[in-house]
Amino acid sequence: MPGTFRELPASAPSVRGMEPPITDSERRAARAETSPDWVRDTVFYAIDVARFRDSDGDGFGDLPGLIEKFDYLEELGVGCLWFLPFYPSARRDNGYDVTDYYGVDPRMGTLEDFQRLTTEAHARGIRVMVDLVAHHTSEKHPWFEAARADRGSRFHDYYVWSYEEPTTSPEESVFPEEERGIWSYSRHADAWYRHRFYSFQPDLRIANDAVWASILGVVDFWIAMGVDAFRIDAATHLFEDKGVEGGTARLDERMDALRSYLAERAPGVALVGEADVATSAIPPYFERGRFDSLYNFLANNTLFLSLARESAEPLGECLAGLHDEVPDGTWLNFVRNLDELDLEQLRPEDRAEVRDHFAPDDDMRIYGRGIRRGWAPMMRGEAQLRMTMSLLFAPPGAPLLAYGHEIGIGENLAAEGRKAVRIPMQWSAERHGGFTREGRSGITDAAQPRGRYGYRRRNVEAQRGDPQSLLTLTRELISLRRDHPSIGGSPWQLRAEGPLLWLAYGPLTAVHNLSRRHQRVEAVESQRRLLGDDLSAGRIPGYGLCWFMAE
């Protein structure tokens, strides 16, 4: 592979890259009712509603505040908004401890606000994706309260129980530094219940047909509310062996049934999976269209290994290997999400190398496998930050940004655990970054006023009119993908050459320099530069980037 392009064709004939010059909104409209393939052509933008914009001054973000920012989102050019859980919840796990699947947390608004949001989004050509948290509920959910109160209740079988004390250890938990294991005792039920995550998040028994019927009811409800896609939370763990008889559902049965269900009711609705698994375990997720896209944890892990080594080889090999394993698969690529940077898919020695490079202090590390730092503060200055932003838009699949990434939002390492990257959006240099007009809360307390990435220096207002800002670059990259729909599709070519990663889609090529030092390249006088550095002198600067089109 080094030194030559590797041709990576589609497994079936494709004319992507040869489409007529139509707009992204036209493509969406043409396929909205019949196909979920729009996930391949859009840019996703993750919003934690509680931290995006507070409209009523209580220090807690809300749906009306988000609606106020639709002009900004449309100007940015994103195509699908992913909303982290906004359902009623005690928010002990950032909303993933759901107490009601059919409502909106009163601090964030009402169902009427959500309907107004989807109507406004669709009017602007923007889709909406929500989390389907089907793996577990909160212990405060009425289902679980009924389940532990009465073993004879039908809701008791909604959860996974053991009537003898199981053996368990912290290593089994997703949060080994915070939980003693995956089984906890309920004195009300006189039994142990399973929880792969926190003890206040009991696992649902997905193998129970009544549970699955209830989940389908939730899907129906939010489709009626205008939702275009569901992110299946914890898809990796949803179908794993629960360790008790009758506790395990089969991925193929449940997801095939869900896909058939959607095909009859809403064929344009997409399913996106959070599946942090090895390459060999990926194919079943894509078989028969079970999922339309998966979060690309493998490329995410190897991206950071490539950045640490200043070598394109790890990322290049990963991208080529994913194509070999799942040629028809589509990916949701990301640099950082709003959890920890989980490096679980790297070999132990490679994981240690990445952690030593990007998280040299113990308080920057978490769970023995990850890093709890933000994207921008981990980078070696502005040039590397800009290069990685551009690189996010280059691989096959669709890019995912989280709120604030487009301006280089920072981190709060004084916060506990994964909360370090969950800080309020930085709209202006005003108090609390313009997130709220007057409110004070635990969310506003996390706002970072000082430092290179604090809101006094980094905010939307400061970057909006600056042609050299990260925000401007992000808008240009989104526009580039919209104007050239072949980017991210098939066929594509790959070359990893030292620190240089080349990705080509027909006549369009993107090259990124993962090294801090300039590199020699072939002069490209005959090419039309679309974005980035000028390569006509036969060199690319350290952490340089260039998108160009063959004339």
pLDDT at 6 over 90: no
Q: What secondary structure letter does DSSP report for 432? A: G
DSSP annotation of 4:
S
- The one-letter amino acid at 135: H
DSSP of 241-262: --SSTT----HHHHHHHHHHHH
At 481 the pLDDT is 96
Q: How confident is the model over 321-333, as pLDDT tens digits?
A: 999 888 767 899 9
If one compares 427 and 551, the residue with the highest pLDDT of the two is 427
The string of DSSP codes covering 146-188 is: HHHH-TTSGGGGGB-EESSPPP--GGGSSSTTT-S-SEEEETT
Percent of the chain with pLDDT over 90: 88
pLDDT at 33: 64
The Cα 180–Cα 199 span in angstroms is 9
Structure tokens at 180: 């003693």
DSSP designation for 15: -
Residue-level pLDDT at 522: 82
What is the reported pLDDT for 17?
A: 33
Please, where are the H alpha helices in 277-415? 283-286, 297-309, 313-325, 348-358, 375-378, 382-392
What is the spatial distance between Cα 371 and Cα 136, in angstroms, rounded to a whole number?
Answer: 25
Provide the whole-model pTM.
Answer: 0.93
Helix axes 297-309, 313-325, angle to 10 degrees: 160
Identify which of 525, 531, 527, 518 has the alpha carbon closest to the alpha carbon of residue 487. 531
pLDDT bucket at 526, cuts 50 / 70 / 90 = low
Q: Give the per-residue pLDDT at 22.
A: 42
Out of 40-49, 310-319, 518-527, least confident range? 518-527
Answer whether the bond into residue 142 is a cis peptide, omega within 30°.
no
Torsion of CA 269, 102, 400, 70, to 10 degrees: 100
What local confidence, expressed as pLDDT, does residue 34 receive?
79
Query: Rounded to whole angstroms, how far apart are CA atoms 355 and 369?
Result: 9
How far apart (Å, rounded) are the C-alpha atoms in residues 68 and 65? 5
- Token pair 């019927």 is at which residue? 213
Tens digit of each residue's pLDDT (9 = 90 or more) over 388-412: 999 999 999 999 999 999 999 999 9
Average pLDDT of the chain is 92
Residue matched to tokens 């009623």: 88
Unique residue bearing structure tokens 């299946």: 232
Is 97 in the active site? no
What's the confidence (pLDDT) of residue 316? 97
> Distance between CA 182 and CA 33 in Å, rounded?
42
Instruction: Please report the domains of the chain, with CATH numbers, ordered by start residue.
Output: 142-194 (3.90.400.10), 492-550 (2.60.40.1180)
* 240: DSSP letter: S
The predicted-structure confidence for 115-143, as pLDDT tens digits, reads as follows: 999 999 999 999 999 999 999 999 999 99
The structure tokens 């503060």 sit at 377
Please tell me the predicted confidence (pLDDT) of residue 172.
Answer: 95
Q: Which two tokens stand for residue 108?
A: 């964030």
pLDDT, residue 437, reads: 87
Q: Tell me, what's the pLDDT at 475? A: 98
**Residue range 56-69: average pLDDT?**
97
| For residue 21, pLDDT beyond 70 | no
Q: Is there a contact between 207 and 144 (Cβ–Cβ < 8 Å)?
A: no
Q: What does the pLDDT average to over 503-514? A: 96
Q: Could you tell me the CA-to-CA distances from 49 to 69, 188, 378, 417, 428 in Å, in that order?
A: 12, 35, 25, 20, 18
Q: For residue 473, give the H/E element and its range.
A: helix 470-483
Burial 186-201 (b: 16+ CB within 10 A, else e): beebebbbbbbbbbbb
What residues contact residue 452 under an 8 Å CB cut-off, 6+ apart? 377, 410, 458
Catalytic residue chosen out of the listed positions 93, 233, 340, 497: 233
Q: Give residue 19's region: left, alpha or beta (phi > 0; psi -120 to 50).
A: beta
Window from 6-20, 270-284, 459-473 with minimum mean pLDDT: 6-20
Say whether pLDDT at 52 is over 50: yes
Place of tokens 């640490």: 308
174 — phi, psi (to 5°)?
Answer: -65, -25
Region 493-502 average pLDDT: 97
Segment holding 457, helix H or strand E: none
Burial of 522 (0-12, 13-18, 19+ CB in 10 A): exposed
The pLDDT tens digits for 172-192 are 999 999 999 999 999 999 999
- Catalytic status, residue 382: no
Sign for the CA dihedral angle at 467, 470, 475, 478 comes to: positive
Please calculate the CA angle 37-38-42 and round it to the nearest 5 degrees: 140
pLDDT in tens, 346-372: 999 999 999 999 999 999 999 999 999
Sign of CA dihedral 50, 48, 340, 421: negative
Q: What pLDDT score was predicted for residue 328? A: 67
Q: Is the pLDDT of residue 10 over 70?
A: no
pLDDT band at residue 493 under the 50/70/90 scheme: very high
- Distance from C-alpha of 202 to C-alpha of 205, rounded to nearest angstrom: 10
How far is 188 from 329, CA to CA, in rounded Å? 46
Residue 18 has pLDDT above 80, yes or no: no
Q: What is the mean pLDDT of residues 143-147?
A: 98
Residues 209, 158: Cα–Cα separation, whole Å: 9
pLDDT at 444 over 60: yes
- Could you say which of 24, 54, 274, 411 is catalytic? 274
